[in-house]
Structure 1
């Protein structure tokens, strides 16, 4: 039933909370907590509206989506001058007209030539500006080459009556175009315009003389003054075209629309203009092919009407309305009530109750006389005794003429001190709303909002003289004369305290969404757009539920407004699933909610023999303690199993309430009781994605827990050390990740605490941080010189600033913080490459001096930082023992200062406690590095394979950017030679060097897997290299994005469980053709398994490779193969014993004190 009805496959696990789905393998408890809070807010709001449980359930099951279409402008407007028409022009008559032509095979990138206006380009230009020439050329290119696109112009020129074509080039072109169109046709007019611009000199603008020259040449008998002069007959539509441009809401000229959709600045750049528009045509062609194929459009369909009658077509674009960050007011009342005319009581209400009181007392103008539900409730906020307020009212009334979904209410926000004299018109409007029927109210409002009416009233006319026939005159006059100033004071308090408007400022509220303050005209088309995006499919579903609730139309409209405002104000969530399981008797566990209280509907689907079930069990227990829930659990088992489904014991540490860990009380604890003693266990911590957790205390080797040998309880304490700041970075122009771009993260006082590099993989970066305010910026040097931050999402500084040198990030949650950063190259740096070694030539004496001092400084710096950087990884006490011995062998064979780098993720507390003492004893530096495996990169589950991954996958981001070269040395290796020689080894342009596997021990030939099968055919006689020792040129590695290439190939290969059996070794050998390997001399690594005894004496390092034939334990092999190993081991043991004795002594002294 689960599979047939819901496509849930056996073994899959899902958790649904009120229909919202959570994937059990990726969820984190903080996300669930956020959802519970939002759902609780929604459910509480619906209950407070008095909605029954049955209808609350209906609302919760709705799939509500924010309108996300790209809005397009209706281009069926007379102000657009189309210079061609594919459907009627003679030049296209030889083309086929059938839509079926779209389905005929064609070469890729070829646009079908069909006699239909599928593709429409509208160019808004000011003919007298520099940009006009380029856009005329673009239109000429498409027109002359018969590209199947209809081209139209809107010439935006001066509308001043005193300006004529003899002194203004724009007006001259307009009148010339109109004249030629009348005398000949529009195509000839366009050809003449092209000729005018051919006379324009480069980087110059059109002049009146350019226009005159073409007119005189083409029409030698014509009177140029009659055409261009002040009394020209060819001026009709000039003001209308400018009004149309203003009405569209488009930004500064030039602007280009393709099928009504605005082309962005990048598409309009000189380099991209033609190709961007052609790409749009190709994309639309593919879309139209699909529509024809499924029968949505056919030969009877008007192409332009089909394109312009979609839901996302609007007459005007208004960023205020379309802004994705929307502000809502809460219209749902608590138990508090107040009289709208009691401004003193209203003053003390909170924002929610103020809004609820205003909503409850609002009166409306509706499309009909209250006989139908109005799904969109619009309030206009203004001082209606001011011309701007009356104009807003007139525009709203104009919209109401054609609206079928909206009702209109008014809120007064007087600009000056409130008294009867300066609220004359506002009182008239309010009195009409309170006393008149709908149609009469509309007519009276039209009359009252006109400027001549206002002038008459302020000249002494009486309000009662304006009463129209049919109005309830007595009721109106009585209400008008008794309305005091209190209600206006209440309205003004609402405007100031809830809408944050100053006296006199205007705004609009639509179903609780506030838009304002308005600083420019809000046109009827704006109201139309506002209604369109408010009345979405989601609102239609809300309206349908409300209509079936059996209440009157006023209450239905109120309820629709409040429910839509409540739901829309919440952050967008995923799709809801209606998991109505008819066979509920199959549920193995049923938990019923407490009666007479709202509850969460929980459905859990799980296979009990999976890791997901281990997590879900504790989660459901905790949910049962913190929320009232109706829960049904269904088992979704696999029919057949080929292996044991569970190989681990698991505890999900989640408590129903905060448990602070102090000296007296334990924090949250995972307890493993009654587990078998014979297996060898490893303890792992599985944490939320954005956490970096480390072990700080343990009483045994957590990698090798053998309970038979442990006399006491195994204990381990972990600590949340860092929260991750993650992000994705893209170049705004190329829309590609800026390879090699470097970021730093710090505070205001310490700007650079950590740094990182942007991966080519998804533009990903991550930085370690802690709760608090942080500053993210481009790293000094090439990153800062070439790039600038131009935008961001997810951060806490203003993303609308033109240039963002610093991005402020606030870490205030345990959830992952993921940013999106947009950068672009600075002016003059467009051709610079951040990964290039190119150095700009210096100019002048001062620059020469700076260059010299800089070089001397670098030479001094080089001697100071001549350090051997050694990287290694280890996990478990045995390998940490090997690691300490390896370190000692490195130090004994070099005179160069050494800095060790260790992967912190898997080191034991003991090692981290000892390493500072070793550093002091032997005089080396060390640093613990860590990197969280990115969530988008295929995860490994076995600890050994995870460690292998860290050896190769993150070399470009694991170390500070100042580290240029690093040498990896396996923990179970002994060094017998100065590694400085390896560091300085010439890699011949390769990013890293590895030692090939030995071939000299012939009795192991049968185990040399690289000699046969896949590896033999892939390597083609090249060497297969061992990963126990390698040197990395990190500068080169980062420059060629080797890390990104390795991760990309890993992502592909790791999907196959049989691939990359030796991950750290197989991956670089597999990528040998994409990321070159320099083969190091064989002497650099000797191991007994593969190398003969004779070559041992030349060995510079000895590695304790596993022997697949003898399977000899490494400790035994180390003492047998490497004579000095025992000596090193003894020396380290003595140091550890000394440290242990010191620790005991210090504890004793402390106890005595």
Structure 2
């Protein structure tokens, strides 16, 4: 066969999808099939389908696992026992599908067919084996048991020799037991033992060595008390013992006695006790599905064959040993032989002639030039295009002849050629709802996870009454690009620049043409352009060890400046001691600045800053920087002294000096640096200047203002850092050049596209576009630390949820406005940190926020006293009744201050103090224009401590289920993003502003815009307009943004819409589909062979809409 193209050689490709089902056997007793059948078998024995169904439901939502148990327990037992294996599978699918939507049920069926949950059950087997081995049991009633077990052990060892690859073998319960409970201190095999333990589980837990460890994948009952002892039930759904244990455990969990977990395991020998439906799949070997096998066959040998038998009419193939069902040039000889058995010899001779003939298979080179286009035409015109593509690319040698003789439609060819001007010929791409998928690495299981993720989101959104068209738009939307990195807007008079490349005389000879930045240079060569392209500003406390190390960088900066390095250098100075005073005063800047400054006189940092200001004002900026270098030289003398001590003493001194300015640098070193700097230029003795400056209030206020500026920026948490055009970096020496090289491509890109010209102030442009006024490393994360998100959908859509009852606070006169950002404050009512966080949240709203609302969830320990319960009740009455009042925020701020004084500073609160407490609340309410009647009527008489305690327990359950946290935590949840732990000294209302700004820009704004565009009244005309409130839309945005933040998908996308799809594309429309597949495929490549069966799976089980543009290679 002569060919110069890539289609000229014969490659047999078999892509095998191995799924549970009946595999048809080869008909005929002695027929020898020619096709290859491949089965990849797991290393572990089979697992029950019933238990796998529970695991798949738990993956969808944890509560579904427990709902499935209840559904199965209420099923008719007679129906289950009378079914066949096939009938049992249908029953399992029926009960499981009743808990899911139609699309999720279809995907659930395929996942169960693939046995994708089987590895999880093998993990439970291994944990069950560890549980049994931790408590070896001996049955003393049977003296022969030990001998019997020894013999069984020997048999098992012999078996393992032959089956050395077997893993995850089924554990065997002692004495034929199928269920047991592990409490960490004992194993219980009978319900009676469990009931005795449940009478006093806490006392038994104290005597135990250690409670059993729980993992993220464990099934923990939703009514469990997080503080109760742990009990793990090992057993299989369907057994009587499991049902007995489960019923008692559920009741105990509701009573708060136990933390109940289930690990599904069907022990060896219990298959008969679980019933037919519970044992389906457990006794069979497990075949792994979703794997492809490629066989590339090429025979390089020549064989001499005697064809004389053919001439005599004797066939080379025996019909009894040959599989005649295989098609040969359009003929199926098995059917012909059935119809004409008397012509067997002639028919087989004709078949052998067809097999040995090469005339019809011979293709000339010119017949292959349009083969790719002809293949695309065959696929597009097929009744089932995806199936046709799969048949062609997996049976190409048998169809290449007919393909090459097809008459080609010029429209298809022209469109393919036009598309290939925008995408390389033969290139394959695939995107799921706009997100690109890595074709090389994707497999069936990963694709199913992605599909399941999208369908789960669509199901959640549909329950929120979002129209299908809007759901598809939400799932296909691309978040804003993060190429515009978050920068700190540090523009202020507190920045002291050493140079200015655009104005200083030393740079006048440099060229000002900005396009030179695009010119190629040798590696390491700098571009000398008279433009402030790079602003390197160091933020530091000059008296701390970190600041002194940064001052060593100042020496490097001075050297680079003297050598005309093309960068603008600057510095911002602050006093860590002064900022500490601000934090202690609760962020009261005015109080911190006006306090007695007797201690400030000893503050080395403030002294350095004041001297820096004086030198800059009287002797110039360069002399001021020289002063900082001299201070650093004094620090070097200290380090030289350290070198004379022992190594251990050095470590001790360094540890002690980390947070102590006095140990790191002393006053006389600073005074010496000042004298050294000023002496050559001063007209009077520098010592007299020092005495005068100590009494000079002007520079002292400047120093305080500079520290306050750093505190507002939030950069004091970094101790010392480098701002490269606003981007935050470490302050070490090697970082400067790296930061410059990272920033260079961003500037080059904007210069190339004309976004930056010679007249553009680059710093103003960058900080105006992506600058923020505060920095918090917990909020502004980098690539190394990923933010934590949780989905709030289950909490909102669930039957009983604490989030449903939350009433929100708003900034004054904005209560009726839609709020895309929702801050949920988790406040421990018994901690000072929690009250501090609550007050910062109230001050955040007082400051004014048009885009955010604030909700509060109170929590506390079990021993919450009466004053805390009264405060929680008063807070809830205020938010639910008076949230629209103008001064409600002022009242709540006063209430928090009063409660903080009563709870933490005053004498212990007693029941006799209740009237005075209520009188104070009413007095504050009247002063702020709120009626006191609601408080007087609800707090003393109808007030129920048990009701509030119950609410606190519900919040504790929410914290544990959603966050895995205890009840005594303080945290912030913003549209699903979790900020924890909270530093009460540094987390201020400004950080809530920052959190609002960052989340709105990067995650929420595009969702908000889509929701706002929907005309809800036209879509749901029967819905009461009063329900379509700002709270309704704010809740939708909160749930949607939190759920979409959990998506694990590629951030890269492609513009498939620019490719024409009128003649050469497969378009499958589904108006109700929430999943859309965009693909560009060359059907005659390995990528095409891989994608075609995957697309068929999606078409069958997910019913997506598809747009597949064919992109074959051109000869």
For CA contacts below 8 A with separation 6 or more, give which structure has more relative contact order.
2
TM-score scaled by structure 2?
0.49
Q: Say which structure is richer in strand.
A: 1
Higher helix share: 2
